[in-house]
Chain A
Amino acid sequence: MGRALDIVCIGGGPAGLYFSVLAKQSNPEHRISLYERNRADDTFGFGVVFSDNTMGFLTEQDRSSYPEITRQSMHWDPITVTHGGRTMRCRGVGFSAIERKTLLGILQAQAVDLGVHLHFQSEVPDPEPLISRADLVVGCDGVNSTVRPHLEDRLGTSVEVGPTRFTWLGTTKGFDSLTFFFEENEHGAFGAHIYPYGPDRATFIVETDEATYQRAGIESFGESDTIAYCERLFARHLDGHRLLSNRSLWFQFRTLRNRRWSEGNVVVMGDAAHTAHFSVGSGTKMAMEDALALSQALQRTSGVPAALAAFEEERHPRVEHIQRAAAASFDWWSSFRHYIQMPPLQFSFNYISRSQFRYDTLHPRDPEYLAGVEAASGLGDLCARVIAQQPPGDDGTALIDLAPEAPVVMTQLVAVSQDGRVTTQDPGLWNAEQAAEWARQAGALRAAGSVLCLNLFHAGPRGAMRPRGEGLDRPLAEPSWPVVAASPLSYVPGGPVPAELDTARMEQIQADFVRAARLAREAGVEWLQLQFGHGYLFGSFISPLTNRRQDAFGGALDNRLRFPLQVLEAVRAEWPAAARLLVAFSATDWAPGGLPAGEALRAAAGFREQGCDYVTVLSGQTAWRSKPPYGRCFNFVLQGKIRLEAGVPTIAAGGITDLDDVRTLLLAGRADLCLLDHARLGPLRCA
């Protein structure tokens, strides 16, 4: 147990109250005072929700106040999605909810019992005197924290304003589960998130996109206009019940992030430190987990600085994880107007799998629901929708071995010219001898029941490297061929600088691709993919991070796409109309200043217009410093957007390893075909 501390909490929401209670419990010698600008029983926002695993974690760690909170909470097991006149339920996606007022009441009573000094109606306009007096100042005063600005330049604060509009209402209608309604009217599409927290009470949040918000004229609405509009919109679900208002204005959700949460003896937590879109139900959860972690850190370390460091260490990865899940969910809510045309069951699965749930994590919870989704999908044999990836460096043996697993096998990268290789070991296709070898492999694969998809590329700025087995992107000491790129920017920091591609060289490279396509056609290759992603030559044109050109091939997206589209057009003319042609590209750079999602959608649509049959949605490898969220199906959000919003047939790739991944992506309508990882755990279990 550490020494007794003078602790000041600014803000009396769940984070501050819960922290006060836990800290005082662990060391009754702490002197804790808490300032709250509102009255004890003032409260906004009707109920708060927790996901089931939050309850588990807190129950495990806190055996004193949490049981009371659990006792007064309402728990529901299924999630209900109502759309297109159909109501769909998936069980086992449990949530709990409690009225915010009840939660605060429990915590206030415990705090008072323990001897925490609670000061209501006591705003702290300037925390400086407290900071210089107290051992520890905890800023838990919400997203509009008055404490945070005192540290802001040192915390690395960023705020992202979301693209949707929402309002927070309540209703007297009873609901028996977490429920979502989707409705369309003459203005556009609206969704309602309903969190019941009592037998006849529920939080009722209405959310829509900016254009719909404008068309409906909501900007000029007062509270009663909002109520009237929403009651009309959701009338068939309300059974005559009213919607309730509680300072119910329309807002844009702001996602707050801070690189650090503490400085000296001041720390922020809860909404003052981080926010996550309410659709993942994690705001209060994070606040309470912060409180628990901070009180435990104070107990087990010596001194406030060590405790704050330990607190940040423990909480940053967890909060980042939730913020990432929330970003995917928020993206769904920003785009659902495009998904609302889907058949209801597929729509519901698309919604439920929008962030963290996959087929295999849902299956044990509700096999019947998933069976219904599968039956309605009409997908048939999933194994027919799979493309296997030849492992890099393979001599052709593994390629043939993949035939039983997939109807199509994608080759490793195949260079269109000697100068287009990454390493001296890359396979290529620029002469008759190579063509004969590809003809042999395509034939062997065909005999084994699969077709070959030749993956053509030019290495661009990633050229002239050492073999990939020795580590990636290690430039050759003495490059034996010239390296080119959209702009003279080295791929590896401090590495060789490529030459800016001039138009003469562009024509040459285009001719190389056309020649490779012709040779492939003559060799009997059935499918062809052009690699426009991962930082290779065409990727260097598409990403704004690597294209600094001032000519017709740089600047705006249309210019950056010009060269890739020219090559695509020329290859399409050479390639048989009936044979499949694919374009793979990086739909995001995972780096600040990279390709925006809107441009990725336009690029995909551009490839489609120029005659490609499928777009393979990759990501990253365009910038040296990037943060790809590697994991299962890690590109699924953009894959779904390109297919459902841009209307382009897509091949999903990246972290796809088994039939459950394939099923998840296809059932949700996020892909037409799936490309499997080469380094996956085991072979695909196809019948």
Chain B
Amino acid sequence: VRIGIGLPTTIAGAPASLALDWARRAEEGPFASLAVHDRLVYDSLEPMVALGAAAAVTERLRLACLVLIAPLRRTALLAKQAASVDALSGGRFTLGLGIGPRRDDYEAGGVPFERRGQILETQVSQLRPLWEDGRIGPRPPGGPELVLGGLTDQALVRMVRYADGFCHNGGPPRAFRSAADRVRAAWSDAGRPGRPRLWGLGYFALGPGAAGRGQAEVHDYYGFLGAFADRIAAGLITSGESLREYVHGYREAGCEDLVLFPTVAEPAQLDRLAELLEVI
């Protein structure tokens, strides 16, 4: 399993300038990827723009959107933006798409919340043809790696039809394992060649006093989800031991890329994670 790190672009109060500094440090660190979340009604940076900026200050890291709330965007423009990030980064982009669970994002975006699944379905069926066609550019045609979130029956059917793999929404290794089992079963049943790409994610807060601040941040970000927020907060990686356990569990479950997101927006968090990754 390759370990990636999240950008602190969805932590309330984090200055925008921290993102670029963070990206440069990640490039120097033991990380394979750099990833962002997406949220509209929040003190956060727009993910495509953030990754465009990250592309400019990195050369090596895979850049991933985990996940972009696709229905908030018009499909052709979304296709062009994604292809642009991919082109700017020299083909290092992974586009993860999902519907997101937040009603307020849809209200602010002027998109009917109830139709989000249908809209995503249409979008993912159109993206690949748009990228392959090359008409809207940038050329050469192709497009980035595409993974989808969501574990409903329909989401899995959609994933094996149109995408290269799956992105999980976080949680303890056993939750990832059971999700990955479902994804692999769908992939096999559908007769897709090869294996699904499997992205997992987790959250960390390392060092003195960080755990409490991290938990508060998780509750602020995911609070509207009730019990889910509690589970994410309870699964927060706060030590070398919990990091080892988390990474081990994800590796055993067949995760290929595990991205750990900070919950405290301080550069020392990245350094601490890098130091612990050396010893686990």
The residues in A between 359 and 408 inclusive whose CB is less than 8 angstroms from any CB of B are 389, 391-394
Query: Known contacts A300-B226, A628-B157, A657-B181; is A621 also within 8 Å of B188 by CB?
Result: no
Task: Digitize A662-684: 1 where CB-to-B-CB distance is under 8 Å, 0 elsewhere.
Answer: 00000000000000011111000
Most buried by B among A394, A412, A629, A680: A680
B103 touches A621 (CB 8 A): no
Per-residue contact bits, chain B 180-208, to A (CB 8 Å; 1 contact, 0 not): 11111111111111111000000000000
CB-defined interface of A298-310 with B at 8 Å, one 1/0 digit per residue?
0011000010011
Are B156 and A392 interface neighbours, CB within 8 A? Answer: no
Q: Across the interface, name the chain A residue whose C-beta is closest to B156.
A: A630
Please give me the 7 A-B residue pairs with the lowest Cβ-Cβ distance, nearest first.
A393-B193, A677-B188, A655-B185, A627-B153, A630-B186, A679-B188, A679-B187
Residues of A with C-beta under 8 A to B112: none
Which residues does chain B contribute within 8 Å of A602, judged by CB atoms? none
Docked Cα-Cα span, A629 to B155, in Å, equals 11
**Complex: A618 Cα to B128 Cα, angstroms:** 29
Q: Tell which of A293, A313, A628, A630 has the most Cβ of chain B within 10 Å.
A: A630
Query: Within 8 Å CB of B157, what residues of A?
Result: 626-628
On whether the beta carbons of B224 and A679 are closer than 8 Å, the reply is: no
Report A468-499 CB contacts with B as 1/0, cut-off 8 Å: 11111110000000000000000000000000
Interface size class of chain B, counting residues whose CB lies under 8 Å from the partner chain: 35 or more
Given the known A-B contacts A309-B103, A468-B192, A679-B196, are A631 and B185 also in contact in the complex, defined by CB atoms under 8 Å? yes
Give B205-236 as 1s and 0s: 1 = Cβ < 8 Å from A's Cβ atoms.
Answer: 00000000000000000011111100000000
Inter-subunit contact B189/A389 (CB<8 Å): no
Residue A219 lies at the interface, judged by CB distance under 8 Å to chain B: no
B189 pairs with A300, CB closer than 8 A: no
A319 to chain B, nearest CB (A): 13
A600-641 to B contact mask, C-beta < 8 Å, 1/0: 000000000000000000101100001111111010000000
Chain B residue nearest to A590 (CB atoms) is: B153
In this complex, which of B191, B224, B253, B254 has the most chain A Cβ atoms within 10 angstroms of its Cβ?
B191
The 17 sampled A-B contact pairs (Cβ below 8 Å) are A306-B103, A314-B225, A317-B152, A389-B188, A471-B128, A472-B162, A627-B154, A627-B157, A631-B181, A632-B181, A654-B185, A655-B185, A655-B188, A677-B188, A679-B192, A679-B196, A681-B254
Pairwise interchain contact A310-B226, C-beta atoms closer than 8 A: yes
A297 proximal to B (CB < 8 A): yes
Report how far A518 CA is from B169 CA in the complex, Å. 51
Determine if A441 is an interface residue (Cβ-Cβ < 8 Å).
no
Decide if the interface of chain B is mainly helix, strand, loop or mixed: helix
Q: Are A310 and B224 interface neighbours, CB within 8 A?
A: yes
Residue of A whose beta carbon sits closest to that of B253: A681
* Complex CA–CA separation, A296 to B189 (angstroms): 39
Q: Are A677 and B223 in contact (CB under 8 A)?
A: no
Chain B residues in 8 Å Cβ range of A470: 128
The answer to whether B228 and A468 have CB atoms under 8 Å apart is no
Contacting A at CB under 8 A, from B161-190, are 161-162, 178, 180-190
Given the complex of chains A and B, what is the CA–CA distance between A631 and B188 in angstroms?
A: 11
Does B227 lie within 8 Å of A293, measured CB to CB?
yes
Residues of B within 8 A of A677 (CB): 184-185, 188-189
Q: Which A positions have Cβ atoms within 8 angstroms of B?
A: 61, 293, 296-297, 300-301, 306, 309-310, 313-314, 317, 389, 391-394, 412-413, 468-474, 534, 590, 618, 620-621, 626-632, 634, 654-655, 657, 677-681
Q: Does B69 interact with chain A (Cβ within 8 Å)? A: no
Contact (Cβ within 8 A) A314 B227: yes
* Chain A residues closer than 8 Å to B196, beta-carbon distance: 679
Q: Does A393 contact B194, Cβ atoms closer than 8 Å?
A: yes
Say yes or no: A621-B189 contact (C-beta < 8 A), given A469-B194, A626-B157: yes
Q: Interface centre among A293, A655, A657, by most B CB within 10 Å?
A: A655
Contact A391 B193, beta carbon cutoff 8 Å: yes
Out of A300, A534, A590, A630, name the residue touching B185 (CB < 8 Å).
Answer: A630
Name which of B128, B189, B195, B227 has the most chain A CB atoms within 10 A of its CB: B189
Query: CA separation between A413 and B192, bound complex, in Å?
Result: 12
The CA-CA distance from A678 to B186 in the complex, in Å, is 11
Query: Is B160 in contact with chain A by the CB < 8 A criterion?
Result: yes
Min Cβ gap B172→A in Å is 14
Instruction: Say yes or no: B182 contacts A630, CB within 8 Å.
Output: yes
